[in-house]
Amino acid sequence: MRAYLDHAATTPMRAEAVAAVSAELTRTGNPSSVHGSGRAARRVVEDARELVAQRLGAEPAEVVFTGGGTEADNLAVKGAYWARRDGDRRDVLVSAIEHHAVGDAALWLAQTQGAQVTLLDVDATGLLDLGAYRAALGPRTAVVSVMWANNEVGTVQPVAEVAREARAVGAVVHSDAVQAVGHVPVHFGRSGLDLLTLTAHKLGGPVGIGALLARRSTALTSVQHGGGQERDVRSGTLDVVGAAGFAAAVDVAVATLEAEAVREAALREELFDRIRTAVPDAVRHGASAADPAAGLPGVLSVGLPGAPGDAVVMLLDAAGVDASTGSACSAGVTAPSHVLTALGVGEDEARSVVRFSLGHTTTRADLERVTAVLPDVVARARASAAYV
């Protein structure tokens, strides 16, 4: 039995989501069709939309289904910029530790659309520098995007304050909450945000469906064109099966969030204690390094000095443990994580970091498996580094 400790990359589907998906797999009918089969399919989608909205403090009309988090982030950043830009509003502000779906979208706007992009500094724990953020805001600001919680080090941002400051200057404010929804409390209505991204597979739903929560008052220009579905900002045949599984996963993740967060945080702290026993010079990164009660409950970013992270991950894999060197979307890239370097971590140290991420299937047996093999894994990784 493998120990799966890479939930921040993708989370195993919950039984409720599997049941919901299975129930819809044989359904026939395009939800845009007007006949009976189409209307029945549409009811499944609209029921899913209402459930997602209810669990996240949104209105059903604010839920725009997408093909996942990356698409939703691109629609938010590009769509809001295109809808807002005029002669003076060309500034786009994003934190320096954003997922590439936001960061690269913003840089593309700078390279091709005349945007002026500012990467907002964070402190050594990954927390946004609010002073620098306020200094960057102004009448030229079109879009602000600051992630709710970071995928590599787990730091949770003061999203409500970020939103309040952005709206005060008339900017559209977005947050990538892919890692947050289902893991920490998220209420769209109370957040002050205009736009919020989430995706199913990070909280126990199927891969291939996500959503952008978008206030009706927030203008968006479509990134893709076609049949005009989803408020005419996201054309494409609606995924009935995915919507059903997505809603079921959101439902159970939010309902069990409080108890599950306590359980995962306890396991995370136990895992780090075990790692420190096995590798005494191990260090941790992110908000939970300074305060164990802070950050995402299931994310643990650990530096193993002298042991290249990619070698550690491969050796762990061979020993039956799934972990990551950082964001799975950057797999295969040898450059140090942009998140860690933004925290002020040196290149050599950043290359020795491994991310363990826990979730609803994690048990103490998983921790025991990791720490049983870790001393040998680290010793072998360090030995291999000596020959490079």
| DSSP per residue, 307-357 | S-HHHHHHHHHHTTEE-BSS-GGGTT--SPPHHHHHTT--HHHHTTEEEEE
Does residue 319 carry a pLDDT above 90? yes
Per this entry, what is the length of the chain? Answer: 388
The pLDDT confidence band at residue 342, using thresholds 50, 70 and 90, is: very high
Rounded mean pLDDT, 318-329 = 83
pLDDT score, position 84: 86
Q: Is 61 left (phi over 0), alpha (psi -120 to 50) or beta?
A: alpha
In the predicted model, what is the mean pLDDT of the chain?
A: 95
To the query of whether residue 329 is one of the catalytic residues in this protein, the response is yes
Q: Supply the pLDDT for residue 357.
A: 98
Q: What does the alpha-carbon distance between residue 212 and residue 168 come to, in Å, rounded to a whole number?
A: 22
| Interaxial angle between packed helices 309-318 and 364-385, expressed in degrees from 0 to 180 and rounded to the nearest 10 | 130
The answer to whether residue 340 scores a pLDDT higher than 80 is yes
Our CA dihedral for 93, 99, 105, 108, rounded to 10 degrees, sits at 90
Task: Say yes or no to pLDDT of 31 above 90.
Answer: yes
Return the biggest CA–CA distance within the chain: 68
> Which tokens sit at 96?
């320096």
How many whole angstroms separate alpha carbon 57 and alpha carbon 51? 10
**Is residue 293 very low, low, confident or very high in pLDDT (cuts 50, 70, 90)?**
confident
Indicate the pLDDT class of residue 323, thresholds 50, 70 and 90.
very high
- Lowest average pLDDT, out of 78-82, 213-217, 221-225, 300-304, goes to 221-225
* Contacts within 8 Å (CB) and 24+ apart, 255-261: 255/55, 256/360, 257/182, 257/183, 257/184, 257/185, 260/297, 260/360, 261/183, 261/184, 261/297
pLDDT exceeds cutoff 60 at 100: yes
Q: Which fold has domain 15-255?
A: Aspartate Aminotransferase; domain 2 (3.40.640)
Torsion of CA 43, 48, 53, 55, to 10 degrees: 140
Alpha helices by DSSP H, listed for 56-197, are 69-84, 100-112, 130-136, 159-168, 188-191
| Cβ contact 323:366 at 8 Å | no
Q: Distance from first CA to last CA of the chain, Å, rounded?
A: 33
What pLDDT, on a 0 to 100 scale, did the predictor assign at position 288?
Answer: 87
Is the pLDDT reported for residue 333 higher than 80?
A: no
pTM of the model: 0.96
pLDDT at 36 > cutoff 90: yes
> How far is 204 from 196, CA to CA, in rounded Å?
19
Beta pairing partners, 95: 120
Residue range(s) occupied by CATH 3.90.1150.10 in the chain: 3-11+258-385
Residue 313: which pLDDT band, with cuts at 50, 70 and 90? Answer: very high
Q: How confident is residue 108, by pLDDT bands cut at 50, 70 and 90?
A: very high
Tell me the β-bridge partners of 193: none
Question: Which DSSP state fits 163?
Answer: H
pLDDT at residue 86 above 90?
Answer: no
Token pair recorded at residue 148:
């709710």
Q: What is the b/e burial string over 117-133, where b = at least 16 CB atoms within 10 angstroms of the residue's CB? A: bbbbbbeebbbbeeeeb
What value does the CA radius of gyration of the chain take, rounded to a whole number of Å? 21
CA 201 to chain centroid, in Å, comes to 10
DSSP of 185-225: ---HHHH--SEEEEEGGGTTS-TT-EEEEE-TTS----SS-
Element spanning 372, H or E: helix 364-385
Give me the sheet containing 353-357, strands edge to edge: 283-285, 299-303, 353-357
* From 329, 335, 379, 383, the catalytic residue: 329
Judged against a pLDDT cut of 90, whether residue 332 lies above it is answered with no
Q: Across residues 21-27, what is the average pLDDT? A: 97
- With b for 16 or more beta-carbon neighbours within 10 A and e for fewer, the 203-227 pattern comes to bbbbebbbbbbbbeebebebbeeee
Span(s) in the chain for CATH 3.40.640.10: 15-255
CATH of domain 3-11+258-385: 3.90.1150.10
Spatial distance between the Cα atoms of 163 and 150, rounded to a whole number of angstroms: 17
Q: Which of 82-91, 114-123, 379-388 has the highest mean pLDDT?
A: 114-123
